[in-house]
Amino acid sequence: MKRLFPLYYNKVSPCYARDHLGNHGCYARNDIPRFLFLASEGRFEEAFYVLKETNPFSSGCGRFCDHPCETACNRTKFDQPVDIKALERFVSDYGYSKGLVPKMLSGEKGKKIAVIGSGPAGLAAAYFLSRHGYRTDVYEKQPVAGGLLTQGIPAFRYPRDVFEKELAFIKASGVTVKCGEAIDKNRFLNIARDYDAVIVATGAHKPVEIGIEGEKTTGVESAIPFLRKINFGRTEELKIRKGEKIGVIGGGYSAIDVARCSVRLGAEPTVVYRRTRGEMTAHSGEVDDTMKEGVAYKFLRQPLRIEKHGDKLKLVVQVMKLGPVDESGRAKPFAVSGAFEELMFDRIVLAVGDRPDLYFVGERFTVDFPRMVCPDLQYDESSKIFITGDAAMGSVENTGMVVRVVGLAQDTVRGVREFLGENVAQDSKRETAFYNTLNTKYFDTAGRLVEEELSHAERVGNFKEVVKTVDEDMAMLMASRCFNCGICIKCDWCYFYSDGSLVKLDKEWVPTKDEHYYEFIEENISSATYKSVEACPRSALTVTPEGSRLDDFRKCQYISACEITRGECKND
């Protein structure tokens, strides 16, 4: 029978990975347990760099992210989830306030890469590549960089000065951003010839038509152009009047942002949605805010047609009811026979989704993520083309989810690096430290953070940021609520139970994966040692059979009693 050996080997936390219930953690693969432990210790600079390994937009995501990591958080099953989003924001803002600069991972490689589009996916891909030593040029057709970040997300959720700090950090890694550069077919071909690789990251900005009569009537407009005018300081072009009735069709973030902006400009918006609040793709917290700010809702209403009535618009809707769950995982709406309603508005904004517009790559193309197959190009050019972000995914429910496209950018960058000859290390598959693997008797219940916000009266007529960043003391306190699932934080419970089979090492905790702070005395392994494995609050230890793939790894953690006594051992 093979001998079983305990050892310290990291697991992944549910806030990082998809769990057995289908909850998805951080799409950007942020190392949440490690950055939170550093934050709990007041080591904010180190926590900042842990976040910047995986997400150049950590300050933004700490403001506008859907935070699926919190839904997956093990602490949810104990009391309430950890405030990961708010703490990511604090740590990132701290790093920028201290003037921290990117850490490079490699010297210059002598190869250059073009990225078409400066939205979150394009800038993230450029940032990751630049840190690995590639010269990276980003082409943007708008006069300012950012794509969705500056065109679609309002300043009250993502202040422009915060974006500018994130953009400056990306540029400090060596990325060049060229604005006002419209790319057509000929320009794209020339870029493909001039660069060693090209990444298409133009997002999804072409409005989806809902296919109803009257949607092109004067007074009907699309969400992205509407938001772009506001975010680019051209609000006067919208000519919104105080008390104007605006109908917003849709249930995602674009619809929510249009409604909240409209309120701030003095209008009276109503969101028209064919399902109920529970099926909206926008986060429930955002929906709560809209209601508190004065946005009205018409749920279970399917638009049928738009008619012009003088200077008004009549929206005829079908009354709906919910049926069984469809392929999106939400209840499917069905028409209530003979039930219709007429809604009157001064203008209507369509916010039902957007799709990629990839005309510039040629007449024919297919997406084989992360590659883009472009038969209209010669083979030498076609083999260089990659794609990432919403441009690669098409029109889907979570289009515009920044943290998601940052994760896609990581995948595309891996493909580019391998294409250019790098041997990119693969992450080993690890177990997940689910709640039932933790030893929660060591933890006390503690309440979740209540973030300070502007009062609703203070939000009227301006685009000031609504939520305020926590201070250092509160950040440390709230970060200490994290269970730090799957990693060792030197809590000493294993040492306490080990009955002399463990030696505690004198070294500082660092965020390096699989770093160990205790060593096993091989001759002293006993039932108490296995008790140490069970006692670990965080499921940071495991047991592996002799001869397993972890054998070499295990040998680094085992010493003999002779080594402790500096060789003063009796000969057999």
- CATH code for the domain in which residue 265 is found: 3.50.50.60
Of 294, 323, 352, which residue constitutes the final position of a domain?
352
Place of tokens 């441009």: 391
Query: What is the model's pLDDT at position 161?
Result: 97
Residue 95 corresponds to which tokens in the numbers above?
A: 């790093």
How many DSSP H helices and E strands does the chain contain?
20, 22
What would the 3-class secondary structure string for 152-186 be? Answer: CCCCCCCCHHHHHHHHHHHHHCCCEEECCCCCCHH
CA 430, 435, 439, 440: dihedral to nearest 10 degrees? 140
At 94 the three-state DSSP class reads: helix
Q: Which of 18, 5, 118 is nearest to 430 (CA)?
A: 18
User: 335 and 256, same structural domain?
Assistant: yes
Residue pair 270/258 in contact (Cβ under 8 Å)? The answer is no
Residue 457 corresponds to which tokens in the numbers above?
A: 């009266």
Domain CATH for 80: 1.10.1060
Report angle CA 509, 512, 515 to the nearest 5 degrees: 65
* Burial (Cβ within 10 Å: 0-12, 13-18, ≥19) of residue 390: buried
User: 328 and 254, same structural domain?
Assistant: yes
Report angle CA 319, 321, 322 to the nearest 5 degrees: 150
**Span 7-38, pLDDT tens digits:** 999 999 999 876 555 667 899 999 999 999 99
Q: Nearest 5°: phi and psi at 159? A: -55, 140
**Cβ-proximal residues to 93 (8 Å cutoff; 6+ apart), any chain:** 59, 62, 162, 469
| Least reliable range by pLDDT among 30-44, 80-94, 444-458 | 444-458
Whole-angstrom Cα distance, residue 376 to residue 398? 30
Whole-angstrom Cα distance, residue 226 to residue 25? 32
| Least reliable range by pLDDT among 20-24, 228-232, 406-410 | 20-24
User: 531 and 432, same structural domain?
Assistant: no
Average pLDDT over residues 131-140: 98
pLDDT at position 421 over 80: yes
Instruction: Look at 279 and 176; give whichever has higher pLDDT.
Output: 176
Q: Give the strand pairing for 206-207 and 354-355.
A: antiparallel
User: 130 and 95, same structural domain?
Assistant: no
| 393 in any annotated domain | yes
The CA-to-CA distance between both ends of the chain, in Å, stands at 26
| 334 in any annotated domain | yes
The 3-state DSSP composition of the chain as helix, strand, coil percent (nearest 5) reads 35, 20, 45
**Span 251-266, pLDDT tens digits:** 989 999 999 999 999 9
User: 325 and 402, same structural domain?
Assistant: no
Q: What is the pTM of this model?
A: 0.93
User: 348 and 268, same structural domain?
Assistant: yes
Which percentage of the chain shows pLDDT scores above 70? 96
DSSP notation for 307-349 = EEETTEEEEEEEEEEEEEE-TTSSEEEEEEEEEEEEEEESEEE
Query: What is the model's pLDDT at position 572?
Result: 45
pLDDT at position 437 over 60: yes
**Span 331-353, pLDDT tens digits:** 899 999 999 999 999 999 999 98
pLDDT at position 395 over 80: no
CA distances from 45 to 42, 48, 54, 219, 228 (A): 9, 5, 15, 50, 35
Of 319, 334, 352, which residue constitutes the final position of a domain?
352
Whole-angstrom Cα distance, residue 386 to residue 354? 21
Whole-angstrom Cα distance, residue 158 to residue 260? 13
Residue pair 10/487 in contact (Cβ under 8 Å)? The answer is yes
Residue 294 corresponds to which tokens in the numbers above?
A: 């004065």
Query: What is the model's pLDDT at position 400?
Result: 57
User: 116 and 247, same structural domain?
Assistant: no
| 2 in any annotated domain | no
Residue pair 541/549 in contact (Cβ under 8 Å)? The answer is no
H or E element in which residue 253 lies: helix 253-264
Structural domain for 374, as ranges: 112-205+355-419
User: 278 and 175, same structural domain?
Assistant: no
Alpha helices in 356-431 (DSSP H): 379-382, 390-393, 402-419
CA distances from 301 to 153, 250, 276 (A): 26, 10, 9
At 221 the three-state DSSP class reads: strand
Query: Mean pLDDT: which of 24-33, 170-179, 273-282 is highest?
Result: 170-179
Q: Nearest 5°: phi and psi at 167? A: -65, -40
User: 83 and 39, same structural domain?
Assistant: yes
H or E element in which residue 288 lies: helix 284-293
Whole-angstrom Cα distance, residue 183 to residue 191? 9
Q: Quote the mean pLDDT of the chain.
A: 92
Q: Give the strand pairing for 541-545 and 4-8.
A: antiparallel
| 346 in any annotated domain | yes
| 553 in any annotated domain | yes
pLDDT at position 448 over 80: yes
Whole-angstrom Cα distance, residue 275 to residue 317? 13
Domain count, the chain: 4
Query: What is the model's pLDDT at position 569?
Result: 61
Residue 120 corresponds to which tokens in the numbers above?
A: 């979150």
Of 419, 444, 459, which residue constitutes the final position of a domain?
419
User: 192 and 214, same structural domain?
Assistant: no
| 572 in any annotated domain | no
Instruction: Look at 347 and 205; give whichever has higher pLDDT.
Output: 347
pLDDT at position 321 over 90: yes
User: 187 and 176, same structural domain?
Assistant: yes
User: 433 and 535, same structural domain?
Assistant: no
| 149 in any annotated domain | yes
